[in-house]
Amino acid sequence: MTTASNTPASMTGQQTTLAIILAVSGAHLLNDLLQFLLPALYPLLKENYELNYLQIGLLTLGQQITACLLQPLFGLRGDLKPKPYSLAVSLVIVSVGIVGLAFANQFMWLFLAAVVMGTGSAIFHPEASRVARMASGGKLGFAQSLFQVGGNLGTALGPLAAAMILIPMGQTTTAWFLILGCAGVALLTYVGRWFVEHQRQAASRPAAAIKKPALSRNRLIVAFAVIGALLLSKFIYIEGLKTYYAFFLMEKFGLSAPDAQIYLFLFLGSVAAGTFIGGPIGDRYGRLSVIWVSILGALPFTLLMPYLDLTGTAVMSILTGLVLSSAFSAMVVYAQELVPGKVGMIAGFVFGFAFGIGALGAAAMGAVADWIGIIPVFQICAFLPALGILTILLPKTAELHPEQKEKLA
């Protein structure tokens, strides 16, 4: 495979391989469902092992910071020397973590299981994102959205698994989900075979010239700093809701743990819908437009949510998830356009930074919640989407593609 030609212009002659995009999206669903079994268990683990909010946040940190540190490295390795079957290996590692989670009986073992699961995820995301791009046929936003929505759907199903299986039947029932891990390994083995064939065909074609970045070094530094700030605003808020929304509802409205998980499912379902919608809109109207609307557009909803009744809170959480999540596909593709030819490394950076900053934020939220309570924490974090104003500093389409006429920024 040559990563040098992964630009829309060079892909226009390729056919979108929908079956492969659907396969990696389905594997993403399985991976993220398995990953979310840990936060889905938080109410049960908090009670059984007398964990405080900081320890809950540290479990999230252990799972996500591994992905933060390792994903760019695995992505760069894939750029230099692709490993078609590393995707299947990633689900094997996640499955090992699931076994550890099922039988861990103290905080240390829970933390170790979280780290193992995060390592598998770190291998999966940059390689799967690369495959989705390879199979896109130039429809980059669509391919990334379809790939990512699988993960969001898997995350959304986690609370249902908690409400119907894990919380009523206990921690050890987590081991039942090994069946899904095995299904994911089989699916990604199929993708690996396609990857090998794609490599073989690509090797028989003349290598395309590597397109140099259109921006200066300083401009790239500013652009990635802004992307980092936008990812911070988005993922600290979303990861905070994933980790603590059930506790927020239980404390404020007196809901039971299973009932709170249903509301969490509604929020995460809206995140999945927003992710899918955002990519094709970015292809059509411009990625910067989607980023603007997504980050700043969520601010009114996040500000209102902590002060409403249960119904109003649920509605605001759904609107927040729908709007705030719509930018991620656009941000991945936009970042890849900043540095052509480094598809895996940039995908690893975006996914890794998003996971890492979200995990650090969740741990910090837990520490503050132990001090002032979970409800004030949600009131403070509601201001995070205001960082969306920094989008004004990102390079416009004409700067990234000076050889083309700017269609829509």
Per-residue pLDDT tens digits for 142-185? 787 788 888 878 888 888 887 788 888 888 989 999 999 999 99
| % of the chain with per-residue pLDDT over 90 | 25
Reported residue count of the chain is 409
Max CA separation in the chain (angstroms)? 64
pLDDT in tens, 65-108: 776 777 777 767 766 777 778 889 999 999 999 999 999 988 99
Mean pLDDT, residues 239-266 taken together: 89
Minimum mean pLDDT range among 91-100, 214-223, 378-387: 214-223
C-alpha–C-alpha distance, residues 352 and 105, integer Å: 29
Whole-model pTM?
A: 0.69
Q: Which domains does the chain have, with CATH numbers?
A: 14-205+213-400 (1.20.1250.20)
